[in-house]
Every structure is written in C-alpha cells, then in structure tokens.
Amino acid sequence: MTKTIGTATLPTPSPGTMPHVTAREMMVRNLITLSPKMDALEALDVLLRQRISGAPVVDEDGHFAGVFSEKSCMKFVVGMAYENLPSIPVGDLTDKNPPTISEETDLLTIAQTFLDAACRRLPVLDSDGKLRGQISRRDVMRAVRSHMETPVKSHAPTGLYLSAIFSSDDRRV
C-alpha cells in the first residue's frame, strides 16, 4: 500500500510489514561508559568533551548500574548550589531504573518504548544484567529508513483545478 503526500508516494507499512530488526542488529556496541565511583565533575567533563547527553554507568564486572545524563548533571548543579555539596560519586546521581531492552527486542517495541518513556537512549542488557550496547532514537530512525522504499515522485496532478482561479461568472459549465 502507498500513501500520496504532496507529490511523493510513500509506503504505508502495516505492523506485519515493518522490517523485523532486533536490538542486536542495530545497537551501538562501542560505548563511553562511566563508573559509579567516578567523581561527578569528572563525568560532567566526559559528557562535554565527548559531546554526548548521557552515558551508561557500569560496575567493575560490566553490570549495568544506570544512566548518568544531562538531567543527572542538573541534580548535581542544584545540589551544589543549594546544599553546598562537594562533588559526589556518579553512582549517587545515576538514574538507577531507566527503561532498558534486551538484544532480542524488536524494532516496533523499541520505538514504542521511546514513545512511552522520556529518554534519549535505551541500554541493551543481556540476561545477566550486563551492558551489551545502546540504541538511540536516531538509530531507530536509521533502521526504519534503511528498510523502507525510497519515495517515488508522482507526476499526477496536485489537485489544483483551473476553476479554482476563475470567478464563478467566468467558469464553463
């Protein structure tokens, strides 16, 4: 099935025709990670230097401990300003219960998770709770686009009729 928008004809996939892609196939594996023991100011520097909005936090054994994000940094800034807190470990500011997915999670479930949760990234965990990778919203868009047909330019009229530019007295019947 297709849908015409303006002069482009776009495919309109039903859930059954969406590409069957899993997290394993689209996740990024080479990640910048932080330690729960790392100083929060040092972690803030990592985010700024790497130009990323957050990073997974993993312990010495590779187990996922949460996400340190720009929001975590805001908590840190407020804590420093109002409570005169010195720098603290990343683990104290980490979102310890963010949404996560498994390597077998399908594309539609990943997209729905992004719609339901206010997050920019989804950590991909194995059955032991170890971090295997991460998927961003952009990764989902890339996967969908790479599996969909390219829009076909339509040469059909766009719906403008000459009668629309003539007054009713000048129109032919």
pLDDT in tens, 109-123: 999 999 999 889 999
The count of domains in the chain is 1
Identify whether 84 is part of a domain. Answer: yes
Domain range for 44: 20-147
- Give the containing element (helix H, strand E) for 103: none
Identify whether 158 is part of a domain. Answer: no
Q: pLDDT at position 152, please? A: 56
Q: How many CA atoms lie within 13 A of 139 on its CB side?
A: 23
Taking only the tens place, the pLDDT of each residue in 133-159 is 999 999 999 988 887 765 556 565 555
Is the pLDDT assigned to residue 90 strictly greater than 70? yes
- List the one residue out of 33, 34, 131, 32 whose CA is nearest residue 90: 34
Identify whether 114 is part of a domain. Answer: yes
Identify whether 153 is part of a domain. Answer: no
- What percentage of residues in the chain have a pLDDT greater than 70? 74
Question: What is the full DSSP assignment across 4-46?
Answer: EETTEEEE---GGGS---BHHHH-B-S---B-TTSBHHHHHHH
Is the pLDDT assigned to residue 127 strictly greater than 90? yes
* More confidently predicted of 145 and 27: 27
Identify whether 172 is part of a domain. Answer: no
Looking up residue 42, the CATH number of its domain turns out to be: 3.10.580.10
Identify whether 152 is part of a domain. Answer: no
Neighbours of 153 (CB within 10 A): 9
Identify whether 3 is part of a domain. Answer: no
| pTM of the predicted model as reported, rounded to 2 decimal places | 0.72
Identify whether 4 is part of a domain. Answer: no
